[in-house]
Structure 1
Amino acid sequence: MTSDNFIDYLLQFDTLNTQQIELIKSLLVIKDYKEGEYFLEAGRVSKEIGFILTGVFRVCYYNNKGEEITRYFLDEGNFMVDLMSYTSGISSTEYVQSVTTSKILTLNKSSMDTLSKTIITWDKIISKITVIALSEKLKKVSLMMPQDAAERYDFFLANFPHLANRVPLQYIASYIGITKSSLSRLRRDISKK
């Protein structure tokens, strides 16, 4: 994936002329992440928006018992930002961590302001993307809660088959709300069927 993939993504929401496209590309910053590195850490203010070119990230937090909980995963073609932190300037309560070696494009607040002032349809494009991203986030987080562990794992496999072999077991276990050893047992039981 390249910056052209990012432009193609934006063009789903509105038209952009050549000058606008070149301006967007000139403001994009490419960043590489190693496995385990953070795009955003709890306690820090989100100051940039990321678009994943390659790799997988997870959004996680620590509960009141000090246990690490994975809320959801993001992979290629998805945006990353703590929207509340970014728009309000408050500290994030979550971590966004690279699960694999990853490459992203970023736009900082200054670049976003420049695009908003220069491209008439920019805010409309971002608004449409935000609505879709929030809807997807809700689906990823809430659909599994009323299900038992086996159903939640089936849901994960059915909806994110491309992530099953890319994400460490402990993160999948955390996402579906069970321990790593319980997930190992569940996987063994499924393979026996």
Structure 2
Amino acid sequence: MYDHLLQNILKHRIIPKDEQVLIANSFSIKRFKSSDWLIKPGTIARQLFFINNGVLKITLPHPHNKDVVYFFLKEHQFMTFLYSMYGNVPAVQGLQAACVAEVMMINYEQLTDLYRQLPYLRALIDEIAQLSMAEMVTIKNVYMFGEASDKYQNFLQRQPDVAKRVALNDIASYLGITPQSLSRIRRSITNSKVIF
């Protein structure tokens, strides 16, 4: 259960076994249903999450519509809004389950206690978060321009496992196209496939 959490950390640093156990034992497991909030926009992020199973979505409030999906996160990624957690300020974004999800989580007080016991850990978590953010921006930039059908084809190529598990409305929001356009695109793709 804790293997993926530790493997993710160990990719970046060698850690003694007893410290690995300390880290793993500091996290608890929680399951979320689709659409459950892990962090609501306008609230302070109080936990660090590691996705064991499922897909989470980062949302942005929209003044005239429901929240916009900014990004999908899948298994074996850490996630929180560090600026909110460390700065004790409300998060602009939200974090929500895009499907049934199981996460490992640690609250801020336990995390700061872990940082005191393992002084290298904060810099390590921050480094992992920055790498994840850079990857997120790179992927998101691919969907910024082009025709709606091109955006959807890119999404299917780059994040096929996510495409199978999340709602079509969320995919449309993420790609910046209307649900109606996405339905038409999906129909045309299905109709254009030749069955032998």
What TM-score, normalized by structure 1, do the two folds share? Answer: 0.93
Partner of 2:174: 175
Tell me, yes or no, if the aligned pair for 1:14 and 1:121 is still in contact at 8 Å.
no
The answer as to 2:2 corresponding to 1:20 is no
1:63-91 deviations in Å (ceiling 9; x for gaps): 22234311010111111211221121111
Structure 2 residue runs without a partner (length 5+): none
1:30-75 deviations in Å (ceiling 9; x for gaps): 1111111111101110011100001111111222223431101011
Distance 2:127 2:93 in 1: 24
Structure 1 residue runs without a partner (length 5+): none
Q: Which shows bigger deviation, 110-119 or 10-19? A: 110-119
Task: Tell me the CA shift for residue 115 of structure 1.
Answer: 2.1
Give runs of aligned pairs for residues 135-150 of structure 1, distance below 5 A.
135-150=134-149
Tell me, yes or no, if the aligned pair for 1:72 and 1:140 is still in contact at 8 Å.
no
Partner of 1:99: 98
Q: 1:54 to 1:132 in 2, by over 3 A?
A: same
Tell me, yes or no, if the aligned pair for 2:79 and 2:129 is still in contact at 8 Å.
no
Partner of 2:75: 76
What TM-score, normalized by structure 2, do the two folds share? Answer: 0.92
Partner of 2:55: 56
Q: Could you say what secondary structure the match of 1:70 adopts?
A: strand
Task: Tell me the CA shift for residue 179 of structure 1.
Answer: 1.4
Counterpart of 1:146 in structure 2: which amino acid? Answer: F
Task: Tell me the CA shift for residue 141 of structure 1.
Answer: 2.4
Sequence identity percentage:
26
Q: Could you say what secondary structure the match of 1:162 adopts?
A: helix
Task: Tell me the CA shift for residue 110 of structure 1.
Answer: 1.7
Counterpart of 1:50 in structure 2: which amino acid? Answer: F
1:1-24 deviations in Å (ceiling 9; x for gaps): x11210111111111112211211
Q: Could you say what secondary structure the match of 1:178 adopts?
A: coil
Counterpart of 1:135 in structure 2: which amino acid? Answer: A
**What value does the CA root-mean-square deviation take over the aligned residues?**
1.4
Task: Tell me the CA shift for residue 142 of structure 1.
Answer: 2.2
Q: Could you say what secondary structure the match of 2:161 adopts?
A: coil
Aligned length: 192
